[in-house]
Amino acid sequence: MTDPRQLGGGFAAATHIDRTGAGRYTATIVPGWDIAGNANGGYLLSIIGRALCDATGRPDPVSLTGHFLSPGKTGPVTVATEIVKTGRRFTTATARLETAERPIVVALGAFGDLDEGGGPEWSDREPPVLPDPDECVPVVPREPFPPPFMSKVELRLHPDDAGFAAGGRSGRPIMRGWFRLPGGEPLDGVALLLAADAFPPTIFNADLPVAWTPTVELTAHVRSRPAPGWLRCRFATHFITGGFLEEEGELWDDRGRLVAQSRQLALVPRG
Amino acid sequence: MTDPRQLGGGFAAATHIDRTGAGRYTATIVPGWDIAGNANGGYLLSIIGRALCDATGRPDPVSLTGHFLSPGKTGPVTVATEIVKTGRRFTTATARLETAERPIVVALGAFGDLDEGGGPEWSDREPPVLPDPDECVPVVPREPFPPPFMSKVELRLHPDDAGFAAGGRSGRPIMRGWFRLPGGEPLDGVALLLAADAFPPTIFNADLPVAWTPTVELTAHVRSRPAPGWLRCRFATHFITGGFLEEEGELWDDRGRLVAQSRQLALVPRG
């Protein structure tokens, strides 16, 4: 079994899986992919995505839902997958990322080949308007914030959305910016699962006394493998009600194509 | 075991479940809840919702994702549930609705008690503006369209979105209208799963040569049990690309509260 920490490349190595039996895999939650000791949710979904691509024999996640059950701590984990149905276009499967002690993420998804897509194209939305990456605000790790995770991804925030770190919340729960992997590491469909959960939470820009909104569930739809280059991303919350908020994401590639959408449900602590 | 067709009430009877063993239930796909012979997806999710409320011992679906694998035909089905984690606020579980021959829907969800919600309330969206129900367009079954399913729910469409049946597509993939159950049957959290998939597809209003968009996956977030009365609903598609479209729904109750959101991913045939 390969220790992913010894492989080249940040994301590919950190999501490396080894098959250990029928539908079973081992992986390692690599140090640095955490926020305050808990692995980033998109990173955990990416490990599951790798396992399900292998288990289903399909190259791409098409729709993947993860429920976040316990914090993912650094160290070895198991991914147990189960095929529910193998169809013509998609294979549908479940997965649990877990340790011997506890389940961390349970997931359900459809996997397929995004090259098989086609048909009419239409949209009433445009990619978010962002200043060039060099004119946006880089998110770089500092003590005590932002977390070391921000060295694993490369984020450049829209200046209008980046003031929260200095106490200048915009008042609108929106987070826009650019995403890529450091060192020119290419993005595949699985990397979009990471990008869908890599930005600071939209709640950081709300005028509300809420700082921490644990994710209950995140669903990502992947429409296309991204072209090389930066992703142009927009995350927004429209409804904080009933003790929950949603955060919906749109991820666009360098060709101006929507490559993924996400929506997560998060808990709003009662304060 | 009770035959749900002999119970009073349309929706409650049609989603009746009987426990037959640890986490296992039988139910019946009742005639009339289909579109061209295939049971409505929201109806199937509602049967699963009933089984998971019972299996988890929690009164409400909070987030439920279903993947639609095979058409649901009239007749007996089994729902096999499995608890993944019992937490303080939520119980997370999977379920398969199936016959002896094939899986029909596989689901993953978190169940809880919506009375436990609280905290700050904020939104930048308003309920959809609709004419009064009496000034909207009822959707009533006719041969060959609309299907008999439309007698199981009571829909009144916004006049601007209702012309498709007469060939007058609005050109915007939006569907707005009122929803309730016939005969004054009350709505609970599970009924919102039905409402999230009961309207004609948004594609019916697009200027595209596409008529049929099978659902791959639908996720519903339930924020609150609805107050008595009509639901005010809005479904919209923003991205038809890569061979897929999403349809996102907002369901508001008579108090003007957002009670549920939904998003589904559907296939766009290549034509």
CATH of the domain at B36: 2.40.160.210
The answer to whether residue A18 is domain-embedded is: yes
Instruction: Tell me what pLDDT residue B2 has.
Output: 47
- Which helix (DSSP H) or strand (DSSP E) does residue A60 occupy? strand A60-68
**What pLDDT digit, counting tens, does each position of A124-172 carry?**
999 999 999 999 999 988 877 788 899 999 999 999 999 988 888 999 9
Task: Flag if A269 and B119 touch (Cβ within 8 Å).
Answer: yes
User: Which domain-ending residue is among B114, B147, B162?
Assistant: B114
Cis amide linkage into residue A144, ω under 30° from 0: yes
Virtual torsion, Cα B96, B99, B102, B103, nearest 10 deg:
-10
As averages over each run of 10 residues, the pLDDT of chain B (271 residues) reads 53 97 96 92 98 98 98 97 97 98 98 92 96 96 84 96 88 97 96 97 91 93 97 98 97 96 93 60
Task: Flag if B123 and A208 touch (Cβ within 8 Å).
Answer: no
Report pTM.
0.96
The answer to whether residue A210 is domain-embedded is: yes
The answer to whether residue B229 is domain-embedded is: yes
Q: Say if strands B18-21 and B75-86 run parallel, antiparallel, or are unpaired.
A: unpaired
Do B145 and B109 reside in the same domain of the chain?
no
Contact status of A227 with chain B (Cβ, < 8 Å): no
Share of chain A above pLDDT 70, in %: 96
The answer to whether residue A91 is domain-embedded is: yes
Domain limits for position A45: 4-114
Task: Flag if B240 and A69 touch (Cβ within 8 Å).
Answer: no
Do B145 and B34 reside in the same domain of the chain?
no
User: Considering its fold, how many domains does chain A have in total?
Assistant: 2
Instruction: Tell me what pLDDT residue A9 has.
Output: 60
Do A170 and A248 reside in the same domain of the chain?
yes
Do A143 and A95 reside in the same domain of the chain?
no
Q: B-chain residues within 8 Å CB-CB of A85? A: 69-70, 102-103, 106
Residue from B53, B7, B15, B52 nearest B33 by CA: B15
Do A158 and A86 reside in the same domain of the chain?
no
Residue A65 and residue B108 in contact, taking contact as beta carbons nearer than 8 Å: yes
Q: B-chain residues within 8 Å CB-CB of A271? A: 119-120
The answer to whether residue B92 is domain-embedded is: yes
Q: B-chain residues within 8 Å CB-CB of A121? A: 240-241
**What pLDDT digit, counting tens, does each position of A231-248 carry?**
999 999 999 999 999 999
Per the model's pLDDT, the better-predicted residue between A35 and A129 turns out to be A129
Do B162 and B61 reside in the same domain of the chain?
no
Do B163 and B244 reside in the same domain of the chain?
yes
Do A154 and A239 reside in the same domain of the chain?
yes
Instruction: Tell me what pLDDT residue B209 has.
Output: 84
In single-letter form, the type of residue at position A91 comes to T
User: Which of B81, B221, B258 would best serve as a mutation to test chain A binding (most A beta carbons within 10 A)?
Assistant: B221
Residue A69 and residue B85 in contact, taking contact as beta carbons nearer than 8 Å: yes
Do B212 and B175 reside in the same domain of the chain?
yes
The answer to whether residue A120 is domain-embedded is: no
Q: B-chain residues within 8 Å CB-CB of A258? A: 239, 241-242
Using alpha carbons only, give the angle A257, A263, A268 rounded to the nearest 5 degrees.
145
Q: Which of B209, B243, B257 sits opposite A116 (nearest CB)?
A: B243
Nearest residue on chain B to A239, judged by CA atoms? B123
Residue from B222, B232, B220, B210 nearest B263 by CA: B220
The answer to whether residue B123 is domain-embedded is: no
Do A93 and A200 reside in the same domain of the chain?
no
Task: Flag if A94 and B89 touch (Cβ within 8 Å).
Answer: no
Per the model's pLDDT, the better-predicted residue between A117 and A189 turns out to be A189
Task: Flag if B219 and A221 touch (Cβ within 8 Å).
Answer: no
Do B159 and B41 reside in the same domain of the chain?
no
A5 has a pLDDT exceeding 50: no
The answer to whether residue A27 is domain-embedded is: yes
Do B79 and B161 reside in the same domain of the chain?
no
**What pLDDT digit, counting tens, does each position of A8-33 carry?**
569 999 999 999 999 999 999 999 99
